[in-house]
Structure 1
Amino acid sequence: MLNPADDALAALLPDGVLRPITPVYLEEPRGRYRGQAGLVAAPRSTEEAAAIVRACAQARVGIVARGGGTGLVSGQVMPEGPAPLILSLERMTALRGLWPEENVLVAEAGMTLQAVRDAADGAGRLFPLSLASQGTAAIGGCLATNAGGVTALRHGTARALCLGIEAVLPDGRVLRDLKRLRKDNTGYDLRDLLIGAEGTLGIITAASLRLVVPPAATGVAMLQVPSPQAALTLLSLAEGRMAGGVTSFELISGQGLAFLSQTLPQIRQPLPGAPWSVLLEVGLPEGLPPQTALEALLVDAMERGLVQDGVIAQSGQQAAEFWNLREHLPQANRLIGAIASHDISLPLSEIAGFIDAAGAALAPHDVRINCFGHLGDGNLHYNLFPVAGRARGDYDGQRKALSRMVHQMVMDRGGSFSAEHGVGRLKVAELEEWGDPVRLAAMRAIKAVLDPLGIMNPGAVLSQAPA
C-alpha cells in the first residue's frame, strides 16, 4: 500500500517501471545498514531513467541508484530521512556495441562486470577490471565508485578504463558523451566528474570502455617473504625484470592464512604458516614464457634474501587455486567477525613503516590484525579482530577510537582512508575531518549547481545541509 506521496509520484512514472520492494533492494553486503524505499523503479532505457528522475525532481523525492548492490560503504542504501525512490539499473543490461579493432566496448550500466569481461573475451579482447564480486557487480556501480581490484597496478582503476559515459543529470537531462576517443581536449571532463561520485551528481546509464589485447600467456606464483619491506623490494625487482608485465601483486599476512585454516580448511594453501606472502601474476607477450621468467625471478629474489620459499603454478588449475585462496580471505574475515575494517592507501615507500608503527600502536588494545591487499598500487585492507577468547561485542566501546587511530596514522603518512571502496555513507565523517577544506568547498559547490534540490543519493559522500 503506497502512502499518498508515493502514490502521487507513481502516477508520474513511465508505465511498467515499478518493482515490488523486496529485501534485496534494502541490503548491503556487510549488514551495517538497512535501507528504506518508498518506491523501486527499474527503467528499461535511458529515456525511462530520465523520466523517472524528472518525476522525482518534480515531487522533491530523493533517488538512490542501485546496480549490483555490492558496494562496501553503504552508498546503495539510505537508512534515514524521507524514504527515497530506488532506481535500479537491473533491466539496462544491453551490449550496445563492440569494436575489437578499436579496443572499445559500449555497455549499459546494469550489465555485470563478468558479462562485460565475457563479451570482450568473445572478441579476443580483455576488459581488465577484475573484482571478486564481478558476477554481481554492475558496470555502472563500478564506475560510480571508481572500483579498483586486483589489476589496478597495471591497468588502473575503473576511471582509467572508461572513455565516455551517458548519464542522467539531476534535472532529468541526458548527458550523451559515449565517445570512443583516446584524445578529446574539449573542456571540462564531465566523465571524470561523474565517475567516483557515487550517484550524487547523476546516474550513469551507459559507458564506453577501453579494452586491451590479452597477454599471450600468464604466470602465477606465491612467494613467501620475510617482511612487507622485502615484498616492496621484490615488487620493484619484478617490475624491472618483467618489463611492465606485472599484472597483480597481492600481499597476504600470516594472520589471514590462519583465519582461512580456521574457517575454510578446504581452501588449499601452497605456503601454510607463511608470516607474509605475495601472490604475483604476470602477463607476457609471445616468446617470453611466464614460468621461465618467474623461475628466474625466484632464483634472483632468493639470492637477495627477498624470498624464503615459493611455488610457481604449473597449470591453469593451480593458478586458479592460488587466486581462490586470495578471493576467500574476505569471507574468512567475515566468518571470524571484524571489530573494524579499513580500506586504506599509502605511498609505497610508507607502507612498511605504517605496518610496523600501526602494529605497535594497536598492540596494547588486545586485537588481531589481518593486513592484506593490493600492495602493488598501495591499497591495503587493514582489519582488526578480537583476540582468541574474546567476542566482537567486547570492543563495542572501542571501535570508533580504533578506526580513528588507524586512519590518523594513514593520513599522517600522506595516505587515504578510502582507497577503492568509496565514501558512501560510512565515511562521510572521515571525509569532513580529513578532506582538504578547499576541495570539500568545491565539491559542495558542484553538488549545489548540478543538484540544487539535493535529490541524488542524499547523505552519501557529502553530509546533507541542515534543513
Structure 2
Amino acid sequence: MNDFLARLAGVIGSANLFTADTDTARYTTDQRGRYHGRPLAVARPGSTAEVAALVRLARAHQVAIVPQGGNTSTCGGATPDGSGRQLLVALERLNRVRALDAANHSLTVEAGMTLAAVQQAAADADRLFPLSLASEGSCQIGGNLSTNAGGLAVLRYGTMRELTLGLEVVLPDGQVLNALSGLRKDTSGLDVKQLFIGAEGQLGLITAATLKLFARPTAHATALVGVRDAAAAIAWLNALKDAFGDRLTTFEIMSEVCQNLLAKYHPGQLPFTAPWALLIELSDSGDSAELGERLVAWLAEQDMLDGVVAQSEAERQKLWQLREAMSETQKRDGPSIKHDIGVPSSAIPAFLDEAGTALEAAFPGVRVVAFGHAGDGNLHYNVSYTRPGNAELFSDEPRVNEIVYDLVYRHAGTLAAEHGIGQLKPHWLARYKDPVALAVMKTIKQALDPAGLMNPGRWL
C-alpha cells in the first residue's frame, strides 16, 4: 500500500493525507460512539478533479472508499471498518459557494459546506434554504444529501430530495457526472441525480449540489401547547393545516417523558409539562405581530391544557432551543436504543399506543422517549431502558427493534425516515423492505460499482 499512498499524496498533497492515529482519530468514531474504525488513511481532497483522480487511483489499487461529511451519522454510515484497508475520504475542504442565482432562487455549493454555512449563504442573498437540523453547525451538505435529510421544516418544504435541483457526482470509475442545474422542469430522460440522494455514498461521491431557495419569511408565530394525548395532537395538526395552509411550517411533538428530561437537565426553561407538548410555528411574509395575533385568536378557540406564544424573537428562540436540545439531553441521561421511524401522521396515535403496550408487556417498566416531526410522520422513538440500571439495554435491542419495526410496517411505515441505514440497520432493511425494490437497488449498485468499492459493508 505504500505505493498507493505515495501516489495519493501526489494527487491531494501530503499535508492532506493523514495516516497517524493522532491525525485520523477524529474521523474514525461515529457521533454516538457506537462504531469505531481503523482506516488505511484519511484523504482530504480539495476539488472535484482531485476527488476524481483519487477514485481512479483507488479503483486501480482495489482500495475501498468510505466517504465522510461532518461525521454526524447516528447509524455508522460514514465510519470505516477495523481492517485498516479502507480509505476514508473527508470532503471538508470542498466548502465553497460556486454560484448563487437569487433571481432563480438557486444556490450551487460544494459538498463539504456545513448546513449552517449554506443557510447563511442563502440568507446573505435575502433567501431561505429551509433544511434545519440540530447538528446544522457541523453536518455537511453532502451528508445531508446522502441520507436524504429531513429535519424541522419538511412539513412545508420537503426533504433533501425536494430541495435539490442538481448534483455533481464522482462515479466509482472516476468519471464526473455533471448534473448541476437550476431547472425546475426537465423531462429529458431519467432524473439521475435522485439515484445518489439517500444512497449513503454507495454509488458515488457527491461533490456539489444546486439547491432550491425560497423567499425569506419576515413573520413568525411560535407556540408551545400542551394536549392530553397523541390523538389530540394529530387532531391539532389537521386543524392547523385547515386554518393556516402552508403557513404551518413546523409541527413537533414531545412526550411527557421528554419534557421531564428537559426539566431535569435544563431547569427553569420549560414553561409547563403535559402528556404531550406541541411546538407549532407559522411563517409568512408580512408582520410577526399580526401573524401572532391570528395564532393567538385561533388558539383561544381550542381545547388545550396549557400553552405559551412567543412574544419576541428571544422567546421564540428559547422555545426552539428546548426542542433542539432533546437529542443532547437524552444522550446526557444515558444510552438508548434509537428508532428513526416514519408512519403516516394519521397512524401516529395508534402506533404509539400499540408499541407502548407491546414493549411494556415484553419489558415491564420500559421507558420510551418519543419526540419528533409529527407533521411529516417522522418520530424519534427511543428506548432509554428496558430494565432498571440499563444493564441489559443492548442485549434486548434485537427484540425491541422487532417489536417496534413490526408495528411500523403494520402501519405502512419505514424504519429509516431521515437518518439512513448505515451499519446499524442493513439486516432489518433486508427483512422489511420490498424484495423487488431491494433487487432493483442492487442491480444499480452492480452496474455502477461492480467491484463494490464505494462504502462497502452497507445495505447494498
TM-score normalised by L of structure 2: 0.95
Q: 1:36 to 1:314 in 2, by over 3 A?
A: same
1:172 to 171, 174, 183: 174
State the 4+ residue runs in structure 1 displaced beyond 6 angstroms.
Answer: none
1:217 is aligned to: 219
5+ residue gaps, structure 1:
463-467
How far did residue 263 of structure 1 move?
2.9
Q: Residue deviations 1:274-332, cap 9 Å, x none?
A: 11110001102326822112112211222xxxx22210000000010001100111112
How far did residue 371 of structure 1 move?
0.8
How far did residue 162 of structure 1 move?
0.6
- Distance (Å, rounded) in 1 between the aligned partners of 2:109 and 2:234: 37
Say if 1:12 and 1:55, in contact at 8 Å, map to a contact too: no
1:350-365 alignment to 2 at 5 Å?
350-364=347-361, 365=363
Say if 1:148 and 1:157, in contact at 8 Å, map to a contact too: yes
Answer yes or no: is 1:136 the counterpart of 2:138: yes
Q: Residue deviations 1:143-177, cap 9 Å, x none?
A: 11110100011000111111000010000000011
Q: 1:373 to 1:432 in 2, by over 3 A?
A: same
1:17-32 alignment to 2 at 5 Å?
17-20=16-19, 21-32=23-34
1:67 to 45, 69, 74: 69
2:411 is aligned to: 413
Say if 2:70 and 2:114, in contact at 8 Å, map to a contact too: yes
- Distance (Å, rounded) in 2 between the aligned partners of 1:299 and 1:174: 57
Answer yes or no: is 1:236 the counterpart of 2:238: yes
Aligned length: 453
1:393 is aligned to: 391
1:43-192 alignment to 2 at 5 Å?
43-81=45-83, 83-192=85-194
Answer yes or no: is 1:296 the counterpart of 2:293: no
1:314-463 alignment to 2 at 5 Å?
314-364=311-361, 365=363, 366-386=365-385, 390-462=388-460
Q: Residue deviations 1:191-212, cap 9 Å, x none?
A: 1001110100000000001000
- Distance (Å, rounded) in 2 between the aligned partners of 1:357 and 1:394: 23
1:465 is aligned to: none
1:277 is aligned to: 277
- Distance (Å, rounded) in 2 between the aligned partners of 1:279 and 1:439: 36
Q: Secondary structure of the residue that 2:232 maps to in structure 1?
A: helix
Say if 2:251 and 2:281, in contact at 8 Å, map to a contact too: yes
**Range 8-17 or range 105-114, more displaced:** 8-17
How far did residue 345 of structure 1 move?
0.3
How far did residue 442 of structure 1 move?
0.7
Q: 1:396 to 1:136 in 2, by over 3 A?
A: closer
Q: Secondary structure of the residue that 1:206 maps to in structure 2?
A: strand
- Distance (Å, rounded) in 1 between the aligned partners of 2:310 and 2:343: 30
- State the identity as a percent: 41
- Distance (Å, rounded) in 1 between the aligned partners of 2:358 and 2:7: 53
Say if 1:253 and 1:277, in contact at 8 Å, map to a contact too: yes
1:265 is aligned to: 267
Q: 1:396 to 1:70 in 2, by over 3 A?
A: closer
Say if 1:13 and 1:55, in contact at 8 Å, map to a contact too: no
Q: Secondary structure of the residue that 2:174 maps to in structure 1?
A: coil
Q: 1:440 to 1:447 in 2, by over 3 A?
A: same
How far did residue 339 of structure 1 move?
3.7
- Distance (Å, rounded) in 2 between the aligned partners of 1:94 and 1:396: 41
Q: Secondary structure of the residue that 1:252 maps to in structure 2?
A: strand
How far did residue 41 of structure 1 move?
1.0
Q: Secondary structure of the residue that 2:72 maps to in structure 1?
A: coil
- Distance (Å, rounded) in 2 between the aligned partners of 1:296 and 1:424: 46
1:254 is aligned to: 256
How far did residue 226 of structure 1 move?
0.9
Say if 1:62 and 1:456, in contact at 8 Å, map to a contact too: yes
How far did residue 338 of structure 1 move?
3.4
Q: Residue deviations 1:63-109, cap 9 Å, x none?
A: 01111111111110022456211111111111011111110110000
Q: 1:90 to 1:83 in 2, by over 3 A?
A: same
1:62 maps to amino acid: A
1:308 is aligned to: 305
- Distance (Å, rounded) in 2 between the aligned partners of 1:394 and 1:436: 32
How far did residue 386 of structure 1 move?
2.3
Q: Secondary structure of the residue that 1:247 maps to in structure 2?
A: strand
- Distance (Å, rounded) in 2 between the aligned partners of 1:93 and 1:419: 27
CA-based RMSD of the aligned residues comes to: 1.6
Say if 2:337 and 2:393, in contact at 8 Å, map to a contact too: no
Say if 2:248 and 2:282, in contact at 8 Å, map to a contact too: yes
